[in-house]
């Protein structure tokens, strides 16, 4: 029997990458799902996921989990995030960003820096935020953006978020502005900002609400995520850099223990504690490097990530176990 023919145009499957995280610098124009699809090929496995969606317009940090590291993503998603963005005052759009249709245009020449600073201050700290109607939030089992595309009017409920920082860097006029490219007599204003916020915050909605508070409308024209938890842009790799990885070498990842150390408080375990946790048992109350409301990474004496722990008073319970018993 002759051997089956090999298609010379078919790319060979890459060796499977080890369990870990890859921090990707997502380019504009791709969805987060597009990046996951590319990473499945590069990592040689379908067990790939991401922590926190970025809109196609947005760029920057997208945390990708491979293999067992996908189990970490549920907890990474809840970490604080940092963005640099440009808010354009003087126009509202259907999507609260530059990809939507313009619904109103206003002259911002009378808007002062002090008024902008006051509007930003009012949107800093704990706030109730109404997400954009074209968000991925489900309404009766269907994504809000899908309902909007079908012509429905969608009004989402406000949610509690915290804006830890909302810094204004530069305010500059944009003469003769119209989002459809036509000339106008008015003047728009671009505001460059840095935002540090809790999970679930929509920076597009901050742009919308700042413009609304100033009476001129607003939307987002640029968004770049620079940090998710402890994963920063300076360790991110572009898709072009990842594509250039040798075909016969497993993709380099941030190993599980290092990935956990980057964004969770750490508890160094004794040998007995590591053994107990590997069986899913509770141990004495957590002693982490820093107090935290969320999970604590439990690291064995040999440097292995054993589990994520949740402090429950006098005991610490494993909520996710990695090390086999």
Q: pLDDT for 199-243, tens place per residue?
A: 999 999 999 999 999 999 999 999 999 999 999 999 999 999 999
Share of the chain above pLDDT 70, in %: 84
Q: Among residues 23, 103, 95, 109, which one has the least CA distance to residue 57?
A: 95
Model confidence at 85: pLDDT above 90: yes
What confidence tens digit (pLDDT) does each residue in 153-163 have?
A: 667 778 999 99
What pairing do the DSSP bridges indicate for beta strands 231-232 and 218-228? Answer: antiparallel
* pLDDT of amino acid 99: 86
Between CA 264 and CA 158 the distance in angstroms is 29
Between CA 179 and CA 153 the distance in angstroms is 23
* pLDDT of amino acid 176: 67
**Out of 121-135, 236-250, 289-303, least confident range:** 289-303
* pLDDT of amino acid 183: 44
* pLDDT of amino acid 14: 84
* Cα-based torsion angle of the residue sequence 8, 11, 15, 19 in order, rounded to the nearest 10 degrees: -160
- Confidence grade of residue 257 (pLDDT, cut at 50, 70, 90): very high
State the average pLDDT over residues 133-140.
62
What confidence tens digit (pLDDT) does each residue in 6-60 have?
A: 455 556 678 999 999 999 999 999 999 999 999 999 999 999 999 988 988 899 9
Q: Among residues 263, 104, 129, which one has the least CA distance to residue 188?
A: 104
Tokens, residue 80: 């604080």
Q: Is 147 exposed, middle or buried (0-12, 13-18, 19+ CB in 10 A)?
A: middle
Tokens, residue 309: 């722990």
- Confidence grade of residue 184 (pLDDT, cut at 50, 70, 90): low
Between CA 151 and CA 145 the distance in angstroms is 10
- Confidence grade of residue 174 (pLDDT, cut at 50, 70, 90): confident
Give bridge partners of residue 170 from the DSSP assignment.
192
The residue with greater pLDDT, 145 or 157, is 157
> What average pLDDT is seen over the chain?
88
pTM, two decimals, is 0.88
Site of tokens 């860097």: 169
Give bridge partners of residue 173 from the DSSP assignment.
189
Which residues participate in catalysis according to the annotation? 55
* pLDDT of amino acid 155: 74
State the average pLDDT over residues 246-262.
95
Q: Among residues 22, 25, 20, which one has the least CA distance to residue 61?
A: 25
Does residue 205 contact residue 134 with C-beta atoms inside 8 Å? no
Model confidence at 1: pLDDT above 70: no
Share of the chain above pLDDT 90, in %: 71
Cα separations in angstroms, 227 against 64, 195, 196, 314:
13, 11, 9, 33
Residues 6+ apart with CB under 8 A from 114: none
Domains defined along the chain, listed by start: 20-79+230-255 (3.30.2350.10), 81-220 (3.30.2350.10), 264-321 (2.30.130.10)
- Confidence grade of residue 261 (pLDDT, cut at 50, 70, 90): very high
State the average pLDDT over residues 168-193.
76
| Dihedral sign (CA 211, 112, 197, 178) | positive
């Amino acid at each position: 029997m002759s051997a089956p023919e090999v298609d010379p145009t078919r790319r060979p499957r890459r060796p499977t990458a080890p369990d870990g995280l890859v921090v990707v610098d997502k380019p504009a124009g791709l969805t987060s799902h597009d990046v996951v699809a590319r990473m499945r090929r590069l990592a040689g496995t379908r067990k790939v996921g991401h922590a926190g969606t970025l809109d196609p317009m947005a760029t920057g940090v997208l945390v990708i989990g491979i293999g067992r590291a996908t189990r970490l993503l549920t907890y990474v998603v809840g970490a604080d995030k940092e963005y640099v963005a440009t808010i354009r005052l003087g126009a509202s759009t259907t999507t609260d960003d530059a990809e939507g249709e313009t619904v109103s245009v206003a002259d911002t020449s009378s808007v002062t820096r002090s008024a902008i600073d006051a509007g930003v201050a009012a949107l800093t700290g704990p706030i109730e935020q109404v997400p954009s109607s074209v968000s991925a939030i489900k309404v009766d089992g269907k994504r809000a953006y899908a309902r909007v595309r079908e012509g429905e009017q969608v009004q989402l409920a406000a949610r509690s978020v915290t804006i830890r920082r909302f810094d204004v860097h530069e305010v500059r006029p944009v003469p003769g502005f119209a989002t459809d490219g036509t000339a106008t007599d008015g003047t728009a204003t671009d505001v460059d900002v840095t935002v540090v916020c809790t999970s679930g915050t929509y920076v597009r909605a901050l742009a919308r609400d700042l413009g609304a508070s100033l009476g001129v409308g607003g939307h987002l024209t640029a968004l770049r995520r620079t940090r998710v938890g402890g994963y920063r842009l300076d360790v991110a790799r572009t898709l072009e850099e990842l594509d250039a990885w040798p075909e016969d070498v497993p993709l380099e990842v941030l190993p599980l223990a290092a990935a956990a150390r980057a964004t969770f408080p750490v508890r160094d375990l004794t040998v007995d504690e590591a053994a107990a946790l590997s069986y899913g048992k509770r141990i004495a109350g957590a002693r982490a490097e820093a107090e935290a409301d969320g999970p604590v990474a439990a690291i064995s004496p040999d440097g292995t990530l054993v589990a994520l722990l949740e402090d429950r008073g006098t005991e610490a319970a494993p909520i996710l176990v990695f090390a086999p018993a």
